[in-house]
Amino acid sequence: MSGLAAKAISAIIGYRQQAASLLLFHSVLEDEVGRAFLQVLEILCDRNAPETCLPAYSGWFQALATTGKGWQQHLSERLLLDENVFALQAQRLPLPELPDSLLAAARHDLRVLQKLYWLQPQQLSQWVQTVCQLPQAPVVWQLEPEPLPVSFVNLPDWADGLSELAHHYQTQGTGQFAQFYAFRWQWGKLEGVAHPDPVRLDQLAGYDDSKAKLMQNTEFLLSGYRALNVLLYGSRGAGKSSLVKALLNEYRDRGLRLIEVSKANLVDLPAILEQLRARSQKFILFVDDLSFEEDDEAFKALKVVLEGSITERPQNVAVYATSNRRHLVREFFADRPRPSDADELQSWDTVQEKLSFSDRFGLTLTFEPADQPTYLQIVHHLAAQAGIRLPDDELDFRAKQWATRHNGRSGRTARQFINFLQAELGVR
């Protein structure tokens, strides 16, 4: 083997040893790109397997190309998402209160990752050419890194940016809570929603008083106070669900996360709360279109969360539920006690428990059916946002026609009308 190849292998062994020395952030390299990178280093060090160099390098190239990011971008984003002991404790405690040994390990790992960050893909390509004795170096996957929400990656020593990294973990979270803003609880676990509804608060017209109260309550939650659980009830299509989803897009940069829980999964609420208790982010548990049947287990589970149990409700969680019903538990005339009934002595207590369940929400917001002025106000608001320029009288006439022929006056109907009108004018 030539002296040039021996020198290259010596440098590669150094990088392998550095990667193996990671104490806390080792999972940064435990994805497809990281494993392929380590495999390239390992094969380059194996002097007896030069024929496997190119396939290994090809695997790393393809893994990077699949992400659509360069090596530096990928590695730094993995660092910001990584969930480890330091990242979790930094969310709960100020940096000076963390153990000195934990801080030392974190600084060590940052210096190691900085060395890997500055290992250019061109260098790896040249090593493959040298060690495998190729006539030319393989093609390099290279993209310029995009701006990051942290600046310590530009420091000469990443260890000096430990406090900035800790602050990032405190505000943006780690793992899936840093990667996603919206979640669904399915099959006993949280699943991130890659493309949540982009609706914004300024797109929602009408019901200004209810909107203001809901925003104020959400501000309480984000400020660390115990926010109220909220019931949004009223006519269909009034925008109740859209309003809750718009809160996420308004406040997600301040650490708000939204978790959608279906009625069928409400029995898992205690397990969900325990997963969120130690997190620094604030969470809205969103239950859409809520109503219960008699003896519904979900009714009992939600009641425990709203009223409390022996386990304290986390201060960083609030329940926001929407419903078309003021009384969430269905009641039938047959449920009402008659003098001849001898089944339950306190039947009226059972009826009152059903009817008063909605009172267990600390804040109830009402969404009345839209009258014609409110409906037309919403239409004009959406038309302006969509860039539709029609005379007011023509827009009003067509909007009234649409409401009559379709689903009546509501925010949903207005949105459907504007979507149709925008497409019609565009095609025309």
295 within 8 A of 260, measured Cβ to Cβ: no
Q: What is the mean pLDDT of residues 15-19?
A: 95
All residues at 6 or more sequence positions from 135 whose CB lies less than 8 Å from its CB, including other chains: none
233 within 8 A of 367, measured Cβ to Cβ: yes
Same structural domain, 220 and 136 = no
39 within 8 A of 60, measured Cβ to Cβ: yes
Pairing of strands 230-234, 282-287: unpaired
What does the pLDDT look like over 401-410, one tens digit per residue? 888 888 788 8
Q: What is the mean pLDDT of residues 280-295?
A: 81
pLDDT band at 352 (very low <50, low <70, confident <90, very high): very low
What does the pLDDT look like over 364-377, one tens digit per residue? 898 888 888 888 88
CA triple 193-196-202, angle to 5 deg: 155
What's the number of domains the chain is made of?
A: 3
392-405 helix and 411-427 helix, angle to the nearest 10 degrees: 120
What does the pLDDT look like over 207-254, one tens digit per residue? 889 999 999 999 999 999 999 999 998 877 778 888 999 999 999 989
Same structural domain, 115 and 259 = no
Same structural domain, 376 and 363 = no
Give the residue among 363, 352, 284 at the shortest CA–CA distance from 319.
284
Residue 31 is predicted with a pLDDT of 96
Question: What Å distances lie between residue 425 and 292, 382, 387, 402, 406, CA to CA?
Answer: 44, 15, 11, 16, 20
- Name which of 30-44, 174-188, 287-301, 309-323 the model is least confident about: 287-301
Same structural domain, 102 and 211 = no
pLDDT band at 327 (very low <50, low <70, confident <90, very high): low
Q: What is the mean pLDDT of residues 376-384?
A: 89
All residues at 6 or more sequence positions from 210 whose CB lies less than 8 Å from its CB, including other chains: 232, 243, 365, 366, 367
- Please state, in angstroms and rounded to a whole number, the distance separating the CA atoms of residues 424 and 82: 47
Q: Which of 319, 339, 367 is the last residue of a domain?
A: 367
Asked if the model's pLDDT at residue 354 lies above 60, the reply is no
Helix (H, G, I), strand (E, B) or coil at 7: helix
pLDDT band at 331 (very low <50, low <70, confident <90, very high): very low
CATH code of 311's domain: 3.40.50.300
Residue 325 is predicted with a pLDDT of 62
What does the pLDDT look like over 91-115, one tens digit per residue? 989 999 999 999 999 999 999 999 9
Same structural domain, 169 and 194 = no
More confident residue, 126 or 329: 126
State the chain's maximal CA–CA distance in angstroms.
103
Same structural domain, 208 and 355 = yes
Same structural domain, 217 and 333 = yes
Q: Which of 174, 207, 222 is the last residue of a domain?
A: 174
351 within 8 A of 218, measured Cβ to Cβ: no
Residue 385 is predicted with a pLDDT of 86
User: Which pTM was predicted?
Assistant: 0.79
Q: Which of 174, 193, 219 is the last residue of a domain?
A: 174
What the block records as the tokens of 267 is 């029995």
Half-sphere exposure in the Cβ direction for 207 (13 Å, CA)? 28
Same structural domain, 235 and 377 = no
CA triple 379-414-249, angle to 5 deg: 90
Mean pLDDT computed over every residue of the chain = 86
Q: What is the mean pLDDT of residues 151-167?
A: 95
- Please state, in angstroms and rounded to a whole number, the distance separating the CA atoms of residues 166 and 169: 5
- Please state, in angstroms and rounded to a whole number, the distance separating the CA atoms of residues 342 and 136: 93
Share of the chain above pLDDT 70, in %: 86
Give the residue among 252, 226, 109 at the shortest CA–CA distance from 173.
252
CA triple 352-355-358, angle to 5 deg: 125
The residue count of the chain comes to 428
CA triple 97-100-102, angle to 5 deg: 95
142 within 8 A of 48, measured Cβ to Cβ: no
More confident residue, 229 or 46: 229
pLDDT band at 316 (very low <50, low <70, confident <90, very high): very high
196-219 in b/e form (b: 16+ CB < 10 A) is beebeeebbbbbeebbeebeebbe
Same structural domain, 346 and 396 = no
Same structural domain, 148 and 18 = yes
Phi and psi torsions of 103, nearest 5°: -65, -40
Q: Which range of residues forms the domain containing residue 24?
A: 3-174
Same structural domain, 215 and 132 = no
Residue 340 is predicted with a pLDDT of 52
CA triple 167-171-175, angle to 5 deg: 100
Same structural domain, 262 and 393 = no
